[in-house]
């Protein structure tokens, strides 16, 4: 791979390119054509999505009926494998649907999504709850000791059977009917919950009429606020968007405490406003239905149901994990708050530090202790160089290379597409979509638009974010936190791309949901490696590399801040999520009131707000994977810290070839071909050590840290 050529192309990437003529795509269910077999997405209409998605659902129904009604005796090929291979047309249209709903949405697309969600849920229920289909799978499962099948085929049979059981295959007919009703209602409510938060983010803002209130914010922040004002029709003012980058800029740097309070209140009140975006009744209905669903499975509450198939054995074990972390983290937080209060008093702040002041005085504390200003780092974190550094680190560590592909059909000209290879063999395709635009959901995330099947189908994955394009032709830059998140999400993308499973159903997303985050959390560790920083950290204005002293300050501050999960704001969110779902037994729950009680029981300092209030918690309520599962970030961070120690102690550190190859072979590329606990043992030679994460940050152990 000629990285100089790639880098030149990346640096020319400024968020704009030839838009191309409007193209009407072929049928969305048709096999993907073109030179690389990638989806055609330009020119898709909401009506086309709705029509073809509904048609693809009917096609899969026909495929499932054919499997269930096959007169031949059940076999691996005509039952398990046939089920695994069904739904290709639906997978293709769902990929385009996902691209539009997440990255190019509007009112018409959102209306279609509201219709599609329950239809798709109904189909999933039909597959899981079909008694004839399950009987055929069960028959193959019972024959496994006598069948001459590969280990992958045996594992596929086990995974599909277990998945059908967890979805209700053994419920009686009345319970199955009730489950289908509940799932359909949940699908619509979860879609509505996410839409409400998105609408609050897109439509609410804080208008600033007096520029003096922006004191402390730099020129780039002010220009962004002015650009937002023009967009919202407030050209004589400045506007702070209801988006994380804009809110954090104010929270960290604005000297005016009233402005910090106004902006923070806007951010923390998403989903709480009375009217059409009020998530209080939505979240309450979701919890009630989840509780009813748990009862159908004979569980006391939804948390018990959600833990089936996870690594952590049950909600009580997860509760212990979170509460064990609370005390040492709370003690350290108390010391920091005391130091911040001293700075605030000297600063003339009237009264105690409010939650809206936390980030501002956290910055002041880091300046006092380390001589560090987070804004000084941002010019060194150019978006194009970040992408180059991520790809370079992956190539050096795993031998993975990225080749830009021209003329691939995309929904926006700022998206780039790469062919990914390892050992001169294509292993997949990566879409890189890093800039904010209208119709795109906020935040950063990775998507798998097509699951890989080793030897036959290459995965198609995407890396998304919402960086602001550089103003007036300047390179786009991000703060350290966003850079770290990008390395995290790139870790997910690498995990999807590395998949060696011959079956989609035993790929990475079939892993327990409390293991899925582990490879991505580990990938964050490559960002601050000296070799990575030396490639990445070039000042956007001067072209000078980041001074060694500043790089060392950054490392010390990152260690001081600790990872996301070892902080009270996260622990409060995770504990609230778990406790609410342990209450979810079919009763009516006032989510906001119960959250307030839980936070009081935790003795969360008033200076600390949860990362997400319950009524804006996408993880808890907009999908089911993280319901009663926000704890997984702490669990996965512990696993990642343990895995990292193998690299730290190797001669080559995080770029050690032998350790990297063993990690790639035993975990990264393995998907769910073996249980996650076995994959971990195969790499580490033992079970995970719960002390690893606290050891990394010298919290509550006194043991030598692992970095």
The tens digit of pLDDT for each residue in 80-92 reads 999 999 999 999 9
Rounded to two decimals, the pTM is: 0.90
What is the side-by-side strand order in the sheet with 445-450? 400-404, 416-422, 425-435, 460-467, 445-450
The 10 Å Cβ neighbour count of residue 2 is 9
Name residue 650's beta-bridge partners: none
Buried b (16+ CB within 10 A) or exposed e, 525-552: bbbbbeebbebbbbbbeeeebbeeebbe
pLDDT of residue 25: 52
| Structure confidence at residue 703 (pLDDT) | 39
Q: Are 511 and 676 in contact (CB under 8 A)?
A: yes
Q: Which two tokens stand for residue 549?
A: 């002293």
- CA 659/CA 677 separation, integer angstroms: 19
CB contact set of 510 (below 8 Å; sequence gap of 6+): 159, 671, 672
The residues of the chain scoring below 50 in pLDDT are 1-12, 14-23, 701-707
What are the structural domains, with CATH classification, of the chain?
A: 31-170 (1.20.1050.40), 204-268 (no CATH), 280-377+566-630 (1.10.1370.10), 379-545+633-696 (1.10.1370.40)
Sign, CA torsion 314/443/508/28: positive
Q: pLDDT of 221-237, one tens digit each?
A: 999 999 999 999 999 99
Question: Which residues in 322-345 are b (16+ Cβ under 10 Å) and which e?
Answer: beebbebbbebbeebbebbbebbe
Angle at 63 between CA 59 and CA 65, to 5 degrees: 115
Residues 221 and 216: their CA atoms lie apart, in Å, by: 10
Report pLDDT digits (tens) over 335-394: 999 999 999 999 998 888 999 999 999 999 999 999 999 889 999 999 999 999 999 999
Calpha distance 660→694 (Å, rounded): 24
Q: What is the pLDDT of residues 455-495, one digit of tens each?
A: 789 999 999 999 988 877 889 999 999 999 999 999 999 99
Query: What letter does residue 545 receive in the DSSP assignment?
Result: B
pLDDT the model gives residue 456: 85
Question: Scanning the structure block, which residue is given the tokens 């327990």?
Answer: 512
DSSP alpha helix (H) spans, 499-631: 518-523, 530-536, 548-561, 568-583, 591-602, 618-621
Q: How far apart are CA 594 and CA 219, in angstroms?
A: 42
**DSSP conformation letters of 453-499:** BTTTB--EEEEEEEEPPPGGGPPPB--HHHHHHHHHHHHHHHHHHH-
Closest by alpha carbon to 378, among 541, 259, 565? Answer: 541
d(CA 411, CA 88): 22
Tokens encoding 639: 């696993």
Predicted pLDDT at 707 = 46
Residues ≥6 apart with Cβ < 8 Å to 93: 28, 29, 49, 52, 53, 56
Residue 77 DSSP label = I
The token pair that represents 431 in the structure block: 């879409």
Cα–Cα nearest to 270, from 329, 346, 201: 201
- Looking at residue 26, its pLDDT comes to 62
CB 494 within 8 A of CB 462: no
Residues 620, 622, 624, 626: is their CA dihedral positive or negative?
negative
**Ordered alpha helix ranges (H), 584-631:** 591-602, 618-621
Give the three-state DSSP class for 603: coil
Backbone angles phi, psi at 417, to 5 degrees: -125, 140
pLDDT tens readout for residues 160-197:
999 999 999 999 999 999 999 999 999 999 999 999 99
**DSSP class of 79:** I
Can you give the pLDDT at residue 20? 40
pLDDT computed for residue 473 by the predictor: 80
Position 1 scores a pLDDT of 38
Q: Contact 399/377 with Cβ under 8 angstroms?
A: no
């Amino acid at each position: 791979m000629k990285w100089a050529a790639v880098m030149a192309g990346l640096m020319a990437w400024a968020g704009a390119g030839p838009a191309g003529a409007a193209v009407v795509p072929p049928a969305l269910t048709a096999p993907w054509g073109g030179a690389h077999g990638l989806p055609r997405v330009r020119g898709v209409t909401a009506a086309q999505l709705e029509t073809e998605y509904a048609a693809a659902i009917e096609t899969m129904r026909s495929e499932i009926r054919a499997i269930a009604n096959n007169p031949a005796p059940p076999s691996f090929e005509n039952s398990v494998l046939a089920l695994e291979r069904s739904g290709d047309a639906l997978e293709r249209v769902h990929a385009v649907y996902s691209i539009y709903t997440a990255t190019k949405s509007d009112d018409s697309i959102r209306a279609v999504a509201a219709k599609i969600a329950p239809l798709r849920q109904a189909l999933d229920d039909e597959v899981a709850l079909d008694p004839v289909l399950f009987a055929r799978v069960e028959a193959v499962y019972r024959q496994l000791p006598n069948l001459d099948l590969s280990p992958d085929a045996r594992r596929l049979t086990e995974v599909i059977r277990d998945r059908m059981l967890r979805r209700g295959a053994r419920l009686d007919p009345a319970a199955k009917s009730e489950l289908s009703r509940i799932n359909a209602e949940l699908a619509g409510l979860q879609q509505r919950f996410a839409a409400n938060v998105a609408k609050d983010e897109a439509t609410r803002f804080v208008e600033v009429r007096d520029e003096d209130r922006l004191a402390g914010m730099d020129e780039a922040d002010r220009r962004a606020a002015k650009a937002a004002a023009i967009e919202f029709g407030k050209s004589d003012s400045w506007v702070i968007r209801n988006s994380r980058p804009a809110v954090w800029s104010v929270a960290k740097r604005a000297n005016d405490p009233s402005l910090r309070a106004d902006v923070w209140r806007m951010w923390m009140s998403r989903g709480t406003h009375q009217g059409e975006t009020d998530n209080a009744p939505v979240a309450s209905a979701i919890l009630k239905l989840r509780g009813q669903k748990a009862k159908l499975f004979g569980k006391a509450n939804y948390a018990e149901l959600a833990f089936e198939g996870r690594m952590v054995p049950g909600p009580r074990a997860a509760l212990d994990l979170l509460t064990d972390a609370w005390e040492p983290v709370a003690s350290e937080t108390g010391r920091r708050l005391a130091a911040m209060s001293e700075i605030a008093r000297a600063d003339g702040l009237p009264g105690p530090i409010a939650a809206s002041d936390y980030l501002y005085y956290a910055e002041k504390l880091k300046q006092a202790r380390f001589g560090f200003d987070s804004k000084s780092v941002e010019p060194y974190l150019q978006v194009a160089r970040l992408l180059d550094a991520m790809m370079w680190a992956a190539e050096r560590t795993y031998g993975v290379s990225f080749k830009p592909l021209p003329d691939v059909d995309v929904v926006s000209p700022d998206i780039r597409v790469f062919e990914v290879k390892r050992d001169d063999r294509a292993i997949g395709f990566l879409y890189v979509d890093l800039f904010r635009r209208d119709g795109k959901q906020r935040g950063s995330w990775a998507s798998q638009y097509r699951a890989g099947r080793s030897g036959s189908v290459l995965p198609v994955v995407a890396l998304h974010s919402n960086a602001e394009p550089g103003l007036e032709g300047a390179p786009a830059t991000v703060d350290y936190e966003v850079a770290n998140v990008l390395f995290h999400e790139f870790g997910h993308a690498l995990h999807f791309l590395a998949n060696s499973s011959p079956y989609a159903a035993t790929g990475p997303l079939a892993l327990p949901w409390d293991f899925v985050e582990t490879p991505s959390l580990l990938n964050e560790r490559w960002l601050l490696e000296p070799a990575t920083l030396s490639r990445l950290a070039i000042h956007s204005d001067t072209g000078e590399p980041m001074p060694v002293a500043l790089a060392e300050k950054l490392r010390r501050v990152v260690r001081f801040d600790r990872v996301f999960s070892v902080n009270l704001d996260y622990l409060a969110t995770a504990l609230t999520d778990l406790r609410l779902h342990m209450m979810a037994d079919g009763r009516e729950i006032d989510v906001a009131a119960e959250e307030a009680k839980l936070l009081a029981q935790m003795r969360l300092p008033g200076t600390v707000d949860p990362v997400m209030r319950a009524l804006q918690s996408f993880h808890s309520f907009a999908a089911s994977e993280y319901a009663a599962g926000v704890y997984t970030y702490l669990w996965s961070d512990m696993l990642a810290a343990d895995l990292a120690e193998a690299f730290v102690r190797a001669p080559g550190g995080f770029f050690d070839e032998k350790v990297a190859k063993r990690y790639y072979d035993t975990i990264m590329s393995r998907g769910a071909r073996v249980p996650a606990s076995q994959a971990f043992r195969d790499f580490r030679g033992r079970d995970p050590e719960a002390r690893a994460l606290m050891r990394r940050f010298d919290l509550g152990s006194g043991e030598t840290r692992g970095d």
